[in-house]
Structure 1
């Protein structure tokens, strides 16, 4: 019995040339081949062997698809867990318009922070109401999520309320919420000092700060250092300031700049 291999008619081949493909940098052998069977029998075609351009294109398309899915997953995660005001959802770095030199410097510092992001450095945005601290903080999360980073924006007063709510419902548990807060690449804790000063709030804040040790966090506050220290207590304030750069943002009320 003849083997299957012996029954297959191999095409006639003629070597044409060998070259290095400029697209994939692989050595390619070009041959002329004659179709041995079928309606195109006898027809000669030119075939290139060794080129990886098609494989590379497919791999790049697959990588792009994965990146798009990852970005969409990051956005869904952010939308699900973040506690963000409706007015901040449209905030971007591009549509932030500084109203003073100090705010322009703050925007540049934020831009540099995004470009140099290593997942470890903290920022504390300090200034009076309406200067765009929350706006710039949200902008950082959006830029980093475009890079595939996991980010979270939480108003501290709302977060503490949310944690209390977990004690009485069957939705997101406190442990789940704190685990998410701990693991994200960047956490924004907005409006420090606006929460009610209770022993429970101070203890819970320390737990959050302690869990974030060594990971990037951005804080915003309307209080000065003396007020913030008194509000948080010395232990929390000390933990807050570890590896943290302070950005001062005082100026005209950004939200009323049109007037």
Structure 2
């Protein structure tokens, strides 16, 4: 709260200085050199204000992302630097994820699916991508005549365990729920980047005769979500291979989910068991 008050104070101070300088320019006939000096001072104030706002936003963004998301507490410090690839596939996955973060553009949607066995760092890499993207400022408004950025915003991101997401949607049906199904689905649709973690875990592996009965709701909702994300960035992590996912979701849902999606296979030791190895 104090940081927000300080930002407002800085904004008011900069606004007052700019207004004063503009008033002086309007009242007096200035030489070209004086006018240039004043304009440079205005632009410097613009840049300083934008930088203060950027730093303030970046400091609070990751805590906001994690408070709104369903991120395992052990992943909150995950980044590219503390990911330890042990196989060539894991090294390749790391490089692809770094490149994905570096080349990320809201206007050029690309999705990725990290798939492989349990505990090899798929979720780690997904959170690492989010951490890198938290440093990016998206330009909302620019003064083209002065080439000055007037307004920026941070990336909107959500990390959701798919099975827990389905539970959250089901809970919205309760009469005393604080949120509606439509609100949950709209939130998933609107974010710049959605991470669907542990994709496929919401599907019950039951007898073929019971498959649609047991999984109809999950398949329907997953299709709604991936359908709404067409034209946006989505990251999937899953412990299942492509053939299993195709069997679980069917051609319609799975082909939609994989539209513009790069598949990245990963192998290696289970991250979670390393501490128990001799």
Compute the TM-score of the two structures, normalised by the length of structure 2: 0.72
Measure the CA separation in 2 of the matches of 1:82 and 1:174. 17
Partner of 2:105: 118
1:144-166 deviation digits (Å, cap 9, x = unpaired): 12212111100100101111112
C-alpha displacement of 1:257: 3.4
Instruction: Decide which of 213, 218, 223 is 1:201's aligned counterpart.
Output: 218
Q: Retained in 1: the 8 A contact 2:114–2:237?
A: yes
Which residue matches 1:150?
156
CA contact (8 A) 2:66 2:76 kept: no
Distance in 2 (alpha carbons) for counterparts of 1:230 and 1:252: 27
Q: Which runs of 5 or more structure 1 residues have no equivalent in the other structure?
A: 1-17, 19-26, 30-47
1:221 to 216, 227, 238: 238
Q: Secondary structure, in 3 states, of the residue corresponding to 2:118?
A: coil
8 Å CA contact 1:144–1:151 kept in 2: the answer is no
The answer to which structure, 1 or 2, has the higher relative contact order (CA under 8 A, 6+ apart) is 2
Instruction: Write out aligned runs for 1:47-196 (5 A).
Output: 50-71=37-58, 74-75=61-62, 77-119=64-106, 120-147=109-136, 148-168=154-174, 169-196=176-203
More strand by percentage: 1
Give the TM-score normalised by structure 1.
0.77
**Gap change, CA 1:177 and 1:65, over 3 Å in 2:** farther
Distance, in Å, in 1 between the alignment partners of 2:58 and 2:155 is 9
Measured in 1, the distance between the counterparts of 2:48 and 2:259 equals 42
Q: Is the 8 A contact 2:171 2:177 kept in 1?
A: no
The C-alpha deviation readout for 1:2-27, integer Å capped at 9, x for no partner, is xxxxxxxxxxxxxxxx8xxxxxxxx5
RMSD: 2.1
Cα deviations by residue, 1:96-124 (Å, 9 ceiling, x for unpaired): 11111210111010000011112300101
- What is the distance in 2 between the residues matched to 1:139 and 1:49? 44
Q: Is the 8 A contact 2:162 2:197 kept in 1?
A: yes
> 2: distance between equivalents of 1:53 and 1:142?
34
Task: Tell me which moved more, 169-178 or 81-90.
Answer: 169-178
After superposing the two structures, state which structure 1 stretch, 223-232 or 60-69, moved more: 60-69
Q: Report which of the two has the higher share of helix.
A: 2
Query: Greater Rg, structure 1 or structure 2?
Result: 1
